[in-house]
Amino acid sequence: MRTRTNAILWCFFLGWIGAHKFYLGQTGWGIAYLLFCWTGIPSFAAFVEFIMLLVMVDTEFNRKFNGMTNHATASVAESTAALGDLKRLYDSGIITAEEYEEKRKKLLKNI
């Protein structure tokens, strides 16, 4: 499994030759960096990518480079809407208090 820290280090020290691209599994881009490393363009691009990797959160890194997707994780807006729907179901008597609490805890965990 690739880590964000390793990608940052590869990018900072050897980004000008595309080492971070090979590490991240983007072989085509790595070869392009190698072919054009003498121009300085890959150095500039690696610096930009270094900054992007620094500000990227781990979940985004894992989704993008490790292929990890967490289908249970929903956006805050989706979770808020789902909580509202759940509350309406509880208020109308369709679900029990136990069901309401169980589902509410799952939704809150995903935020």
pLDDT at 80: 83
Q: How much is the pTM?
A: 0.62
Tell me which residue of 103, 110, 65, 71 sits closest to 87, measured CA to CA: 103
Instruction: Give 15: exposed, middle or buried? Use CB within 10 Å, 0-12, 13-18, 19+.
Output: buried
pLDDT digits (tens, 9 = 90+) for 1-44: 899 999 999 999 999 999 999 999 999 999 999 999 999 999 99
Mean pLDDT of 86-104: 89
Tell me which residue of 25, 29, 52 sits closest to 42, measured CA to CA: 29
Neighbour tally for 67: CB within 10 Å: 10
CA distance linking residue 26 with residue 20, whole number of Å: 9
